[in-house]
Every structure is written in structure tokens, then in C-alpha cells.
Amino acid sequence: MEITTTPFPSSKKIYVDGELHPIKVAMREITLTPTHLANGNIEENPPITVYDTSGAYTDPNITIDVRKGLPRLREQWILDRGDVEILDEVSSDFGKERLNDPKTQHLRFEYNHKPKVAKEGKNVSQLYYARQGIITPEMEYVAIRENQRIEQLQNAPKGLANQHPGNSFGANTPVGKITPEFVRSEIAAGRAIIPSNINHPECEPMIIGRNFLVKINANIGNSIVTSSIEEEVEKTVWACRWGADTIMDLSTGKNIHETREWIIRNSPVPIGTVPIYQALEKVNGIAENLTWEIFRDTLIEQAEQGVSYFTIHAGVRLKYIHLTAKRVTGIVSRGGSIMAKWCLYHHKENFLYTHFEEICEIMKKYDVAFSLGDGLRPGAIADANDEAQFSELETLGELTKIAWKHDVQTIIEGPGHIPMHLIKENMEKQLKECDEAPFYTLGPLTTDIAPGYDHITSAIGAAMIGWYGCAMLCYVTPKEHLGLPNKKDVKDGVITYKLAAHAADLAKGHPGAQYRDNVLSKARFEFRWVDQFNLALDPDTAREFHDETLPAEGAKIAHFCSMCGPKFCSMKITQEIRDVAEKGMKDMSEEFIKAGKEIYS
């Protein structure tokens, strides 16, 4: 199996120690070259630490063996809490069946870890702990992880720690420092979640909430038409490399149980799924044959593998379905359409809605979070913000309260296709209806007329809704509406969403968010080409684009680029202006002639 493990250029993995717990928080440090000042002096540029989702794959000191899976970072933290038991075998009927199926033997992950489950009467969710006042290692981990961007401002070169005050729509944006206690309080309030199934100890804790960095999710997964386990594992690692904060495995093809196992064991980020997809496979794709029992077994099966959040389309109520009939594109959510079909066929209420409390009981035993699905999201600009969509959102608000009653972590899924001027209403309504539970949207796409470029039509909406308060953005790749994304598409989608999320962080004014922009802009202005590449979200592409026109190594220290050439370089001229300005504005003319001749003869 081919897995990408190369570290980023001029980057190394660093680990920051916890204070409350014996934890080591992984980050990436980018080393910079010094600035050569006009007066001949050299000015050092301190390294910059950036948030790192790439996991052990970019640490050359860790040996990667996908057959064994990643190191089990959280294993001891979980066991130390003393509230889980280790099962002798998996609980789900389907899990047992697959384990003993000789036909899938060759596909099976060597399963040398027994599943964990909460002890009788225990709740192992981070929300439960938070409400008990407990700061878990997971909470401290994310606090350190998120706080680092603020911490490093203390060593910032002159002027570079400054940033524009934002205008976050969140009421509780922290100023100055993200503390473990702040993390705990946000989780306790339901405003943030740490997806952290006790059966995915390989996962590095991360937090989803609008008072933290905006996160992104990448969807992967095979379909009946194409793709293999190998491809999906590499897509996972690849997506994390470029910045995916969580991965959703949306497999609907063959062997999705085994595919998921490989993905989870090798994923440094939480995995989400839509269990109804697999449940439908179990009834051979016939939606009306779905039953609560089959679905329940699927939840347990996936919870014991380590899925950290489940998309549950419990808001697709029977009474809402007719509202979609006059839409231009009806129901476009796969899960939503499956449940709608089931409801219509049986003329019964959605069994996910009627069994919601039973689902909560399962979720809290493994700390699986709800991602309450928007099965009635609009699939076209024409259908945005309509009655079907908003009725479902109101039901999701009702379900959020039930989930919270059980101390189950909850996020809410959002659209979809929304023109720019209707985006804010989505965010405001979601916060109101769902009592500030984190919002997690797909885009939204701001126009329908650019298939092939929907990573961009949706990045516009994603950046805006991130600014308005959306906590996590589900990526869209260039292949959206057209085909299954390949590795290139996954990367394009992830980088596009990473920049959209960052644009949102800047607009919200997250402390320290602008530091990387400032450092990169300084490098750009000083013609430190290699630093500019290395500070970019995608160093490889930045370098490749530069080299396409000016491939020579010498060009990377040249004080100009191919766009303007040396004579027209505004940045070169500006340096001359700055030199003059620093000498004061009096006698400017004479000074400038002199300075100019000396510096650029």
C-alpha cells in the first residue's frame, strides 16, 4: 500500500507537553531563512508553528505500518478514567458475521484490539465529563493545540503580531489565551464538541466550535462504481496531510465494513459516517426494508470500530416530505431520500426520530457524537431557505435538546446551495433553533452554473458562513455533481476549504490567526521565495508554479519575479521608498538619489 509520508519542506514535527496531563501535543514548525537587510545586516526570522492535522505520517521518527495502524495515543487516557470495559468480542451481529466470513479474510485488518464500551450505567462522552467539571486530557490537548497560534505571538518580529480586530458573531470569543478550562466550559455549554470515540484511540483530539479555529471535513469513500480499500486509506492520509480536521467515510460500495476498519486504524483525525448507507447495503438497497433493528446493529458495529460521529437523518419527518415535491431538485441528500422513501412507503414516522432516545443510549456508551443530518437541504439555489429546509432545522433543534439531556455531543448539519444574501439567515436560525450547538455545513454553493468548479462556488459560501459562526465546513471537490473525487480532487478540495476556513478565522478575528499571513507577506515582500513557498498551505504547488516560468535556482533569490520582471518590480521600488522614509522625509530628494545609487547600482 502506497502511503504519503514525506515531511513538509523546512518543517519538523514538534511536541508540546501538557501541564495537567502527561500529553504531548503534535504541531508543525516551519523554519525560515534570515532577511538580508539593505545595510548588510542579517535579521533572523523566528520559526513559526502551525496547526497540524497530518498525524504521525510527517514525523520521520515514527515508523508507519498501515497493517498495524497508528500509535494508540489516547488508549491509556481512556483506560485511566476507569469507566470502560473491554469486550471479548464485538457486540454487533454484523460485526461478528464479517469477522468470521472467510470470503473477506484477505481484506481484513488484523484486528488485535478488543472493543471498549462504557461500563453499565456510565457515560463516557466528553460532554458528560465537561459537565462534571472534569478537564480531560482530550480537552487539554485541544487547548494547547489551539492556543499555540496565540502563544507564539510573544516571539513575533516587530509589527507582525498585529492583526485586524475581527467581528466574530460568537458571544464568547476568547481573548488572549485558550485555556483547558475554556475548552471544558464550551463543551459543557454544548457550543463545542471533541469527537473522540473511545474505540479510536489513534485519533489526535480536535475541537469543533465557533470559538475555536474553523475546521474542515473531507469526504472520502468508495462507491459501487469505483475505488478500493488501498485508495481510500491513502486518500485519508492524503486529506489529513493537506489539512482535513475530520474525515467522513461515505463508502457505499463493497466491503465497507473492512474499508472503514482500515481507515480508522490509520486515521489521525476523527472519522464520521452516515450509518444509514451501510444499513441500506444490508437490505440490498431496498429502503423500505430498513428496520430499526438493522440500523441499531449498524450503529453498534460502527461505534465499536471507532467512528466518532454519526450523521443521523432524524429530522426528515413524514410531515415534511411533501414540502419537497415542488422543489426544482427535490431531496438531494442520500440519507434524506432513503428515509423519505421509507416514511412514504410505510406511511409512518421516520424510525430515527421515533427511536432517537435509544440512539442516544448507544452514542453515550462510546462517545459517538451526533451530526444531525439535513436530509432536506436544498440541492439548488432555487430551493434555498425554503419551508422544507427550515422545518427540518427546527426539528434538529428539538433533537439537540434530547441529545444533550443524555450528555451526547451534538453538531448540526447545514446546506447546501444558498445564494450569498441568504447565507446569514441560515446561521442565525441554526444558532437560535439549536441553542448554539456547532453548525457544520456543506459549502454552501453560491451558484449552480459552474459544475467542475464547485469547490470554488462553495468555498465562497463556506468562507462566509464560517465568518458568521459555522464551526466546521464540509469540503466540496471539483468533481461534485460529476464524478468520484480522485487524489488530486481531494487535495484541491482540502486546500480550498483550508483557505476558506482561514479567511473566516481572519474575519472573526481569532487571536493570532493573522500571524501566518503576516509572516508570509513579509517573506513575499523580502523576496524570500523559498520561505513564501514553505509558508503556503500548499508549498509544492507554490514552488511548482514559480518554477514553471523561472526554474533556475538563482531565481529563488532574485529580487523580482516573472510577472513584472526586474524593472517593473513594485516591491523592489517600495524597498527603496522605505529606506528613504526611514531616513525621514526631509531632504528626501537628495537622500533618495544617494540611497538609490548605493543600494541598487
- Residues between 510 and 549 that touch a copy of itself (CB under 8 A): 514, 516-518, 520-522, 524-525, 532-533, 535-538, 541-542, 544-546, 548-549
Q: How many CB atoms lie within 10 A of CB 40?
A: 6
Residues 381-440 that bind a copy of itself (CB under 8 A): 381-382, 384-385, 417, 419-422
Among 428, 452, 598, 600, binds a copy of itself (CB under 8 A): 452
Region from 13-21, 139-147, 259-267, 492-500 binding a copy of itself, contact rule CB under 8 A? 492-500
Beta carbons of 192 and 369 less than 8 angstroms apart: no
Q: Is 333 annotated as a binding residue?
A: yes
Among 145, 502, 510, 528, binds a copy of itself (CB under 8 A): 502
Told to check if 333 binds a copy of itself by CB under 8 A, we report yes
Q: How far is the CB of 408 from a copy of itself (least distance, A)?
A: 27
Region from 141-149, 202-210, 263-271, 454-462 binding a copy of itself, contact rule CB under 8 A? 454-462
Q: How far is the CB of 544 from a copy of itself (least distance, A)?
A: 8
> Measured from the CB atom, is 309 or 497 closer to a copy of itself?
497
Contacts with a copy of itself, 567-596, as mask; x by CB under 8 A: xxxxx-xxxxxx-xxx--x--xx--xx--x
Q: Is 474 helix (H, G, I), strand (E, B) or coil?
A: strand
Among 76, 226, 291, 354, binds a copy of itself (CB under 8 A): 226
Strands (E), 51-94: 84-86
Among 13, 296, 364, 479, binds a copy of itself (CB under 8 A): 479
The region, left, alpha or beta by phi > 0 then psi within -120 to 50, assigned to residue 508 is: alpha
Among 459, 465, 472, 473, binds a copy of itself (CB under 8 A): 459
- Give the Cα separation of 268 and 255 in Å (integer): 22
> Measured from the CB atom, is 89 or 598 closer to a copy of itself?
598
Told to check if 199 binds a copy of itself by CB under 8 A, we report no
Residues 6+ apart with CB under 8 A from 212: 142, 146, 178, 186, 192, 471, 510
Residues 288-327 that bind a copy of itself (CB under 8 A): 321-322, 324-326
Q: Is 417 annotated as a binding residue?
A: yes
Q: Is 219 annotated as a binding residue?
A: yes
Residues 6+ apart with CB under 8 A from 533: 9, 539, 542, 543, 546
> Measured from the CB atom, is 240 or 332 closer to a copy of itself?
332
> Measured from the CB atom, is 230 or 576 closer to a copy of itself?
576
Among 252, 292, 355, 402, binds a copy of itself (CB under 8 A): 252
Strands (E), 124-281: 192-193, 208-209, 215-220, 246-249, 271-273
Region from 6-14, 170-178, 359-367, 555-563 binding a copy of itself, contact rule CB under 8 A? 555-563
Region from 20-28, 57-65, 258-266, 280-288 binding a copy of itself, contact rule CB under 8 A? 280-288
Residues 117-136 that bind a copy of itself (CB under 8 A): none
Beta carbons of 453 and 493 less than 8 angstroms apart: no
Q: How far is the CB of 143 from a copy of itself (least distance, A)?
A: 23
Told to check if 71 binds a copy of itself by CB under 8 A, we report no
Told to check if 447 binds a copy of itself by CB under 8 A, we report yes
Q: Is 377 annotated as a binding residue?
A: yes
Residue labelled with grid coordinates 422545518: 391
Q: Is 569 annotated as a binding residue?
A: yes
Among 33, 289, 329, 391, binds a copy of itself (CB under 8 A): 329
Told to check if 352 binds a copy of itself by CB under 8 A, we report no
Among 287, 303, 359, 434, binds a copy of itself (CB under 8 A): 287
Helix (H) / strand (E) element for 5: namely none
Beta carbons of 276 and 340 less than 8 angstroms apart: no
Sign, CA dihedral 468-469-475-476, equals negative
- Give the Cα separation of 276 and 336 in Å (integer): 10
Q: How far is the CB of 577 from a copy of itself (least distance, A)?
A: 6
DSSP H stretches of helix in 509-583? 515-525, 529-535, 539-549, 570-582
Would you give the distance in Å from CA 268 to the centre of its chain? Answer: 12
- Give the Cα separation of 186 and 240 in Å (integer): 25
- Give the Cα separation of 598 and 339 in Å (integer): 75
Q: How far is the CB of 65 from a copy of itself (least distance, A)?
A: 31
Residues 148-177 that bind a copy of itself (CB under 8 A): 159-160, 162-164, 166-167
Q: Is 118 helix (H, G, I), strand (E, B) or coil?
A: strand
DSSP H stretches of helix in 453-538? 454-468, 487-508, 515-525, 529-535
Length of the chain: 601
Q: Is 54 annotated as a binding residue?
A: no
> Measured from the CB atom, is 151 or 547 closer to a copy of itself?
547
Following DSSP, what letter does each residue of 7-63 receive, concatenated?
PPTTEEEEEEEPSSSS-EEEEEEE--PPEE-TTS-EE----EEE----GGGG-TTS-
Q: Give the torsion through C-alpha atoms of 397, 398, 401, 407, to 10 deg.
A: -90
Region from 57-65, 395-403, 430-438, 507-515 binding a copy of itself, contact rule CB under 8 A? 507-515
What residues are designated binding site for substrate?
A: 219, 248, 277, 313, 333-335, 374-377, 413, 440
What residues are designated binding site?
A: 219, 248, 277, 313, 333-335, 374-377, 413, 417, 440, 481, 561, 564, 569
What residues are designated binding site for [4Fe-4S] cluster?
A: 561, 564, 569
